[in-house]
């Protein structure tokens, strides 16, 4: 089975966020594999171990994403591809990323493509379905279970808490939801092996793409932090008085009840 | 500049979801006086057409087919693209729901357009439509515009106000027939886990429980309070992991994002992942035994105390308030 994983290097949103020069300050931030993409890497490895084949992890980004790709290799992926857009794409959007990925994937004869259902930084969740559409293959988003039997695929999908059991066939693109699996930590031998695994670096030129082919269709004009919330009112006194006061405040001051 | 806008009406459990009306409200802003057409896709959904008109749609176009009984990306995109082809809108607004999230990127791909997902506000400014959306799990916001092609956005439920319902409003509800074929994903079964009653992601009031709820039974007082307030019950990941409730109730970075008018956190410590799912609620109340709990930092009002004492007392007080008002 020929398996591709779409991986994004993301800002660890557990970090404190500051803004400088109209952008999120990334200077001292921790970067990680987008947590939903970790589920995707794990699932790809499990599918390969059951059905045979090869797992290739691909990322669109800058040279810095090499670290996250090496981590995926250390987890057990076989190959990695970095599509380095540092010099070519400034302020790309989901259209740009999906176009690049689709262009890369179009002649790869992938049986299965797995991504995260959303990246925790940008939070749009568009890239997976956009790539599937450009490759003209079916997709299922936010999956919590994947079973493959010959060419037949059964997927369980999380739909706002309900579960749908969906039948489809290969080739297919799926996006991972929490609950799909427990991603493994890279082992020490895994980390050693990863250093020798192939990591190919491509640029737009290699995909026969021009900058204008992938020019964003949206533009961010401002980034800002939410206004600091004023310290809330912690009530005091007798508990029953506190409860009465709270109901009164919600009714008359906050006016939400 | 007047723009013709198309919105998607979404029917769930035999009723239109609120976000369908909010999408019309957003489309009105974006239309700048242009026509707002709402599309209804499904099987036997035409009856909902008039309600969309009452909420401000100028016209409703209905696509019905047995193959559209359940949502699939292939079926719904075929239906919608056929309507888009005829109507030639200059913009599209969907709800940022499971359906909207799944369908909108495919439509954007087919139209070769940009897409602004999960918008919480939009405003017309200097000829541009400016959308606001949360990024970095709600810890920051960005303002975005479309620079090329259609204006296309999905809106987060509960953030953009719908128009006032006007029962006297009338408009055309027409049906078009579209051939739906070659569905590549088939829904074999749907396992309902989400609780009956108020939809958590659209609820105006959410009562959420954390580890402090201690057991499945511990959710009972929260349910009673939710009933009195017409709200929904939610949970932190901790409560779900401990199997006090189903994961369908989980609020947080993984799980649902909610922005109700009132969020009451009961026995929730306020881990950052949980805050990502609720910190944009309009008013937050924290009830926790631990005065140092992180949740108090985002709360508008806090009571330091045992939720099993406080929550039933609150229920009683709200009952009194409801009787008097």
The pLDDT tens digits for B40-60 are 999 999 999 999 999 999 999
| Token digits of residue A190 | 């895994």
Record: contact B140-A226, CB cut-off 8 A: yes
Q: Does A95 touch chain B (CB under 8 A)?
A: yes
Q: Compute the nearest-CA separation of A250 from chain B (Å).
A: 9
Average confidence (pLDDT) over A228-246? 91
Beta strands in A100-192 (DSSP E): 112-116, 139-149, 152-159, 162-169, 172-176
* Chain B residues in contact with A244 (beta carbon < 8 A): 317
Return the biggest CA–CA distance within chain A.
72
**pLDDT tens digits, A120-171:** 999 999 999 999 999 999 999 999 999 999 889 999 999 988 899 999 999 9
Record: contact A168-B201, CB cut-off 8 A: no
DSSP letter assigned to residue A251: I
Q: Is the per-residue pLDDT at A203 higher than 80?
A: yes
Burial of residue A145, with CB atoms counted within 10 A of its CB: 0-12 exposed, 13-18 middle, 19 or more buried: middle
* Chain B residues in contact with A217 (beta carbon < 8 A): 113-114, 146-149
Distance in angstroms (rounded) separating the CA atoms of residues A60 and A83: 5
pLDDT for position B13: 87
What are the C-alpha distances in Å from A119 to residues A27, A106, A157, A165, A252?
A: 20, 23, 18, 24, 40
Beta bridge partners of A165: A156, B189
Comparison of pLDDT for A210 and A16, the residue scoring more: A210
pLDDT for position B196: 66
| Token digits of residue B231 | 């709200």
| Selection from B118, B95, B98, B120 nearest residue B248 by Cα | B98
Q: Does A237 touch chain B (CB under 8 A)?
A: no
| Token digits of residue B304 | 């330091």
pLDDT for position B126: 77
Q: Compute the nearest-CA separation of B127 from chain A (Å).
A: 14
DSSP letter assigned to residue A65: G
What are the C-alpha distances in Å from B49 to residues B11, B44, B170?
A: 11, 11, 10
Chain A, residues 133-192, CB within 8 A of chain B, namely 133-134, 137-142, 154, 159-169, 177-179
DSSP letter assigned to residue A228: P
pLDDT for position B47: 97
Let me know how long chain B is.
Answer: 325
Record: contact A160-B148, CB cut-off 8 A: no
Average pLDDT, chain A: 95
**pLDDT tens digits, B149-205:** 999 999 999 999 999 999 999 999 999 999 999 999 999 999 987 666 688 888 999
Record: contact B105-A138, CB cut-off 8 A: no
pLDDT of chain B along its 325 residues, tens only? 899 999 999 999 899 999 999 999 999 999 999 999 999 999 999 999 999 999 999 999 999 999 999 999 999 999 999 999 999 999 999 999 999 999 999 999 999 999 999 999 999 887 789 999 999 988 899 999 999 999 999 999 999 999 999 999 999 999 999 999 999 999 999 998 766 668 888 899 999 999 999 999 999 999 999 999 999 999 999 999 999 998 889 999 888 899 999 999 999 999 988 999 999 999 999 999 999 999 999 999 999 999 999 999 999 999 999 887 6
Residue of chain A minimizing CA distance to B144 = A220
Q: Which of A53-67, A200-214, A215-229, B108-122 has the least mean pLDDT?
A: A215-229
| 3-class state of residue A78 by DSSP | coil
Q: How far apart are the first and last CA of chain B?
A: 45
pLDDT for position B137: 85
Q: Compute the nearest-CA separation of A193 from chain B (Å).
A: 32
Distance in angstroms (rounded) separating the CA atoms of residues A75 and A96: 28
Q: Does A195 touch chain B (CB under 8 A)?
A: no
B75-98: b (≥16 Cβ within 10 Å) or e? bbbbbbebbbeebebbbbbbbbbb
Record: contact B191-A166, CB cut-off 8 A: no
What are the C-alpha distances in Å from A132 to residues A87, A106, A168, B103, B160?
A: 26, 10, 14, 12, 31
CA dihedral over B187, B192, B195, B198, signed as positive or negative: positive
Mutation target for A interface from B12, B17, B135: give the one with most A CBs within 10 A.
B135
Let me know how long chain A is.
Answer: 257
Distance in angstroms (rounded) separating the CA atoms of residues A108 and A105: 5
Answer for the pair B165, B55: CB distance below 8 angstroms, yes or no: yes
pLDDT for position A1: 95
| 3-class state of residue A83 by DSSP | strand
* Chain A residues in contact with B109 (beta carbon < 8 A): 98, 129-130, 133-134
Distance in angstroms (rounded) separating the CA atoms of residues B203 and B230: 8
Record: contact A243-B317, CB cut-off 8 A: yes
Q: Compute the nearest-CA separation of B311 from chain A (Å).
A: 9
Distance in angstroms (rounded) separating the CA atoms of residues A28 and A24: 11
Q: Are strands B116-119 and B36-42 parallel, antiparallel or unpaired?
A: unpaired
* Chain B residues in contact with A93 (beta carbon < 8 A): 114
| Selection from A89, A113, A174, A103 nearest residue A134 by Cα | A103
Average confidence (pLDDT) over A14-39? 90
Nearest to B302 among A95, A215, A232 (CB): A232
The number of angstroms, rounded, from the C-alpha of A66 to the middle of its chain's C-alpha atoms is 16
Distance in angstroms (rounded) separating the CA atoms of residues B242 and B246: 10
Record: contact A217-B299, CB cut-off 8 A: no
Record: contact A254-B256, CB cut-off 8 A: no
Record: contact A161-B249, CB cut-off 8 A: yes
- Residue B116 CB partners (closer than 8 Å, separation 6+): A218, B131, B133, B144, B146, B152, B153, B154
CA dihedral over B151, B154, B160, B165, signed as positive or negative: positive
Residue of chain A minimizing CA distance to B229 = A257
Distance in angstroms (rounded) separating the CA atoms of residues B66 and B69: 5
Task: Report residue A237: phi and psi, to 5°.
Answer: 100, -170
Nearest to B115 among A14, A126, A140 (CB): A126
Chain B, residues 239-278, CB within 8 A of chain A, namely 246-249, 253-256, 261-262, 272-273, 276
A14: confidence class by pLDDT, cuts 50, 70, 90: confident
Distance in angstroms (rounded) separating the CA atoms of residues B284 and B298: 7
Question: What percentage of chain A carries pLDDT values higher than 70?
Answer: 100
What are the C-alpha distances in Å from B269 to residues A91, B110, B250, B272?
A: 37, 44, 14, 10
Nearest to B140 among A24, A120, A126 (CB): A24
């Amino acid at each position: 089975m020929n398996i591709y994983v779409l991986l994004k290097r993301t800002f660890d949103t557990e970090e404190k966020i500051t803004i400088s020069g109209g952008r999120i300050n990334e200077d001292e931030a921790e970067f990680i594999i987008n947590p939903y993409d970790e589920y995707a890497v794990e699932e790809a490895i499990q599918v390969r171990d059951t059905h045979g084949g090869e797992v290739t992890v691909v990322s669109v980004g800058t040279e810095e994403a090499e670290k996250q790709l090496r981590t995926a290799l250390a987890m057990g992926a076989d190959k990695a591809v970095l599509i380095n857009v540092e010099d070519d794409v400034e302020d790309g959007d989901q259209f740009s990323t999906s176009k690049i990925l689709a262009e890369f994937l179009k002649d790869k004869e992938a049986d299965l493509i797995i991504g995260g259902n959303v990246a925790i930084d940008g939070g749009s969740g568009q890239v997976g379905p956009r790539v599937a559409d450009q490759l003209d293959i079916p997709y299922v988003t936010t999956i919590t279970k994947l079973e493959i039997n010959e060419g037949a695929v059964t997927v369980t999908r999380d739909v706002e808490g309900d579960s749908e059991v969906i039948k489809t066939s290969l080739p297919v693109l799926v996006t991972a939801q929490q609950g799909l699996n427990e991603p493994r930590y890279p082992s020490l031998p895994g980390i050693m092996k990863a250093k020798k695994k192939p990591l190919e670096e491509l640029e737009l030129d290699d995909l026969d793409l021009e900058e204008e082919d992938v020019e964003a269709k949206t533009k961010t004009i401002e980034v800002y932090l939410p206004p600091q919330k004023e310290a809330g009112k912690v009530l005091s006194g007798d508990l029953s008085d506190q409860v009465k006061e709270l109901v009164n405040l919600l009714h008359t001051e906050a006016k939400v009840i | 500049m007047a723009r013709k806008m198309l919105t998607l009406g979404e029917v769930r459990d035999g009723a239109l979801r609120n976000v369908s009306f909010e999408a019309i409200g957003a489309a009105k802003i974006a239309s700048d006086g242009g026509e707002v057409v709402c599309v209804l896709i499904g099987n036997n959904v035409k009856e909902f057409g008039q309600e969309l008109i009452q909420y401000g749609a100028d016209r409703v176009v209905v696509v019905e087919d047995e193959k559209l009984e359940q949502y699939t990306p292939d079926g719904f995109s075929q239906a919608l693209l056929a309507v888009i082809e005829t109507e030639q809108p200059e913009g599209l607004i969907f709800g940022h729901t499971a359906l909207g999230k799944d369908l909108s990127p495919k439509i954007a791909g087919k139209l070769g357009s940009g897409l602004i997902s999960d918008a919480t506000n939009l405003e017309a400014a200097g000829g541009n439509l400016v959308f606001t959306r949360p990024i970095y799990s709600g810890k920051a916001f960005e303002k975005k515009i479309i620079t090329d092609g259609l204006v296309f956005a999905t809106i987060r439920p509960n953030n953009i106000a719908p128009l006032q319902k006007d029962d006297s409003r009338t408009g055309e509800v027409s049906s078009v027939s579209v051939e739906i074929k070659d569905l590549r994903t088939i829904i074999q079964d749907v396992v309902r886990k989400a609780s009956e009653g108020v939809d958590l992601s659209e609820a105006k009031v959410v009562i959420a429980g954390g580890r402090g709820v201690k057991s499945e039974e511990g959710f009972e007082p929260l349910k009673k309070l939710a009933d009195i307030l017409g709200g929904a019950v939610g949970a932190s990941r901790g409560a779900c992991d401990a199997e006090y409730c189903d994961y369908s109730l989980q609020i947080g970075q993984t799980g649902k994002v909610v922005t109700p008018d009132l969020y009451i956190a009961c026995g929730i410590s306020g881990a950052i992942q949980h805050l990502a799912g609720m910190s944009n609620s309009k008013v937050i109340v924290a009830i926790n035994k631990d005065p140092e709990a992180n949740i108090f930092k985002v709360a508008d009002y806090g009571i330091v105390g045992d939720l099993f004492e406080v929550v039933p007392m609150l229920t009683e007080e709200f009952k009194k308030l409801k009787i008097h008002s």
